[in-house]
Amino acid sequence: MTRLARLGLRMQLVILVLLAVAPALALTVYSGQQQRRAIQQDARDHALVLARVAAQAIRPVMSANTPDVTVLEDLALHSGLPDGSQLISVMRNGRAQIANGQTELQAGDQVLAILQPGKEDELRRVLLKG
């Protein structure tokens, strides 16, 4: 008797069903991962477009009398960004980049920030003070 024949009929049916369902399950998982990657890339692309549009719509907050370079990490530690404010992106020479602690602000940069209502002037003072 073969090894498979020794198994009961029920076990043979279970193995057959698993063999039939496994490729469909693997394909579903794979296409779900591909779809997730595509959605993530689409979200990144939309965020960059939004940052570019917003940066073009706002006027620069850096003036000629500020230091040439300000690192956001130093700005947050020493000057203290106002509570309820978060810098999102920096537009420089027509290119947008996501703001992080290592981003350097230079004279002429445009910034996109999310703020609580009424925090605009406070953030402007901190950025212009440098």
Contacts of 91 (CB under 8 A, 6+ apart): 51, 52, 55, 56, 109, 110, 111, 112
Count of structural domains within the chain: 1
Q: Is the pLDDT of residue 120 over 90?
A: no
Q: Is the pLDDT of residue 68 over 50?
A: no
Q: Which domain holds residue 61?
A: 10-130
Q: Is the pLDDT of residue 51 over 70?
A: yes
Q: Is the pLDDT of residue 18 over 60?
A: yes
pLDDT on residue 106: 77
Residue 2, domain member (yes or no): no
Q: Is the pLDDT of residue 94 over 70?
A: yes
Query: What are the structure tokens assigned to 55, written together?
Result: 């940066």
Residue 5, domain member (yes or no): no
For the question of whether the overall pTM of this predicted structure is more than 0.85, the answer is no
Three-class secondary structure of residue 112 per DSSP: strand
Q: Is the pLDDT of residue 78 over 70?
A: no
State the CATH number of the domain containing residue 107.
3.30.70.1450
